[in-house]
């Protein structure tokens, strides 16, 4: 079993008798999702992606990734929100935070802010290196990536000429509509599709995530195989871990636990936390409802947020994600003179010390009145990542339905855009 939900630390917070009706609700929501009988049912294509993805496009993604690796030392990925977070989360999960420092192909993400400092830094990082660009936007009109692409399109054309630039620019967008699709057709960019029935935050297993992940050198066959295993286990209307997680978080929410903290003891999980925050925040935070998703990386953040979690307002619960084995293992050595008093750790691996730190943290937080769940994952590889993605996507859809919201829309995101367009003087605003 690759992934296990360990509920043992919940025993003083969650009574079986209280959980039982919510488990029934979760199973019923999963059944409705399977039948397409749910709010937002025009955006549930992600549910069957691991088994029903477009095989021809998948092969094209692998070819494009190979070409990018053969012709470039830098891939600039332009996108924001769901068109950004999944790919970056996966690459850092699989390659670690220092991935780029070791990689033959560096992957830089831009267009996820309007910071000219960041964009100039990436332009500087491109100097003297061959570059490919993957611009990702389902709508094709999002301002942040549009600004970044305008600048990079010009940069590529100045550097390579129009014809060669067109060979180095890959666009991931709607199959037929939108500015980016029209431009790509006109300029001759190779294009990949964001399916109509898959929303941004559920799109990591489409070309949106797969092209950057494959270009970074990771095995997208194994990723999809893991997601398939996840689909098989979690899509059912039964008592599986994904449905249980959805039920537990709703029970805790109804009991006043309004904030969920995602916790990992591996910094390589930092961007996965960001992906989770978008997935759950954008899916559930609406109609005056929703669990607020937050995250910490430990033990780092125990030295900044630990005090609040242990002792602050009791409206939190935590979901820990742990990994059974470390990619590279370091053992604490014995020092001839125990100058730092650490010889009691000699012979232990850092992974053992880290696992003990996690256990100690959970026990302390439970004592402090914070309900804790633990998701145990075998290791940080493609297969486990695929299963983890499906676990959380499915749980999010079920949990949103239990909350009584449409987990597939994001009407609130428009508010800042309208103001920004008006203040910037965009015609029509």
Asked if 83 touches ligand PA5 (CB under 6 A), the answer is: yes
Asked if 145 touches ligand PA5 (CB under 6 A), the answer is: yes
> Which residue from 92, 282, 284, 381 is in contact with ligand PA5, where contact means CB under 6 A?
282
**CA-wise closest residue to 366 among 22, 17, 23, 8:** 8
The CA-atom distances, in angstroms, between 125 and each of 24, 120, 253, 377, 397 are 53, 9, 45, 35, 39
**Catalytic pick from 117, 127, 303, 313?**
303
Neighbours of 40 (CB within 10 A): 17
Asked if 142 touches ligand PA5 (CB under 6 A), the answer is: yes
> Residue 145 in contact with residue 83, Cβ under 8 Å?
yes
Smallest separation (angstroms) from ligand PA5 to the CB of 20: 33
Contacts of 405 (CB under 8 A, 6+ apart): 39, 283, 284, 286, 287, 289, 290
Instruction: Give whichever of 132 and 410 is closer to ligand PA5, judged by the CB atom.
Output: 410
**CA-wise closest residue to 411 among 199, 202, 110, 203:** 199
- Residue 394 annotated as catalytic: no
Instruction: Give whichever of 142 and 243 is closer to ligand PA5, judged by the CB atom.
Output: 142
> Which residue from 44, 78, 81, 269 is in contact with ligand PA5, where contact means CB under 6 A?
81
Asked if 281 touches ligand PA5 (CB under 6 A), the answer is: no
> Which residue from 3, 10, 23, 80 is in contact with ligand PA5, where contact means CB under 6 A?
80
Instruction: Give whichever of 106 and 138 is closer to ligand PA5, judged by the CB atom.
Output: 138
The position carrying tokens 């607020």 is 292
Asked if 138 touches ligand PA5 (CB under 6 A), the answer is: yes
Asked if 111 touches ligand PA5 (CB under 6 A), the answer is: no
Q: Site size for ligand PA5, by CB under 6 A?
A: 14
> Residue 315 in contact with residue 302, Cβ under 8 Å?
no
From 32-40, 81-89, 184-192, 212-220, span contacting ligand PA5 (CB under 6 A): 81-89
Asked if 199 touches ligand PA5 (CB under 6 A), the answer is: yes
Q: Rounded distance, CA 87 to CA 349, Å?
A: 31
Asked if 209 touches ligand PA5 (CB under 6 A), the answer is: no
Neighbours of 102 (CB within 10 A): 9
Asked if 200 touches ligand PA5 (CB under 6 A), the answer is: yes
**Which tokens is 348 given?**
């232990």
**Catalytic pick from 57, 144, 274, 282?**
282
- Residue 303 annotated as catalytic: yes
Residues pairing with 192 in the sheet: 172
Smallest separation (angstroms) from ligand PA5 to the CB of 144: 8
SS (H, E, C) 20-79: HHHHHHHHHHHHHHHHCCCCCHHHCHHHHHHHHCCHHHHHHHHHHHHHHHHHCCEEEEEC
From 21-29, 195-203, 223-231, 383-391, span contacting ligand PA5 (CB under 6 A): 195-203
> Which residue from 137, 206, 242, 273 is in contact with ligand PA5, where contact means CB under 6 A?
137
DSSP-derived 3-state class of residue 389: helix
DSSP, res 289: B
Instruction: Give whichever of 129 and 426 is closer to ligand PA5, judged by the CB atom.
Output: 426
Active site residues: 282, 303, 417
Give the residues lining the site for ligand PA5 (CB under 6 A).
80-83, 137-139, 142, 145, 199-201, 282, 410
């Amino acid at each position: 079993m690759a992934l296990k939900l360990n509920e043992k630390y919940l025993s003083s917070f969650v009574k079986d008798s209280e959980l039982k009706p919510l488990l029934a609700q979760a199973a019923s929501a999963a059944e409705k999702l399977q039948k397409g009988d749910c709010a937002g049912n025009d955006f549930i294509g992600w549910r069957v992606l691991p088994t029903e993805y477009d095989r021809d496009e998948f092969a094209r993604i692998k070819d494009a990734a190979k070409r990018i690796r053969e012709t470039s030392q830098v891939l600039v990925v332009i996108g924001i929100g769901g068109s950004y977070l999944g790919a970056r989360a996966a690459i850092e999960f699989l390659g670690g935070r220092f991935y780029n420092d070791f990689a033959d192909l560096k992957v830089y993400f831009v267009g996820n802010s309007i910071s000219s400092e960041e964009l100039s830094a990436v332009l500087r990082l491109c100097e003297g290196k061959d570059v490919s660009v993957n611009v990702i936007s389902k709508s094709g009109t999002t301002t942040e990536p549009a600004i970044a692409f305008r600048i990079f399109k010009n940069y590529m054309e100045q550097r390579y000429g129009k014809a060669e630039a067109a060979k180095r620019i890959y666009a991931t967008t709607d199959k037929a509509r939108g500015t980016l699709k029209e431009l790509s057709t006109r300029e001759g960019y190779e294009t990949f599709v964001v399916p109509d029935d898959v929303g941004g935050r559920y799109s990591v297993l489409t070309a949106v995530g797969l092209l950057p992940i494959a270009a970074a050198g990771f095995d997208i066959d194994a990723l999809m195989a893991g997601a398939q295993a996840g689909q098989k286990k979690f899509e059912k209307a039964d008592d599986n871990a994904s449905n249980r997680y959805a039920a537990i978080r709703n029970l805790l929410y109804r009991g006043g636990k309004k904030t969920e903290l995602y916790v990992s003891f591996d910094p390589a999980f930092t961007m996965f936390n960001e992906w989770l925050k978008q997935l759950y925040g954008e899916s559930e935070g609406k109609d005056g409802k929703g669990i607020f998703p937050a995250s910490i990386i430990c033990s780092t953040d125990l030295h900044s947020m630990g005090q609040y979690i242990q002792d602050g307002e009791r409206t939190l619960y935590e979901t820990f994600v742990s990994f059974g084995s470390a990619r590279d293992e370091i053992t604490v050595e014995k020092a001839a003179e125990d100058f730092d008093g650490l010889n009691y750790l000699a012979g232990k691996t850092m992974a053992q010390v880290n696992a003990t730190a996690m256990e100690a943290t959970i026990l302390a937080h439970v004592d402090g009145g914070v309900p804790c769940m633990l998701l145990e994952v075998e290791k940080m590889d493609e297969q486990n990542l695929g299963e983890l993605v499906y676990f959380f996507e499915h749980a999010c859809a079920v949990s949103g339905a239990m909350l009584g919201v449409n987990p597939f829309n994001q009407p609130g995101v428009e508010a800042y855009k309208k103001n920004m367009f008006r203040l910037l003087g965009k015609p029509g605003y």
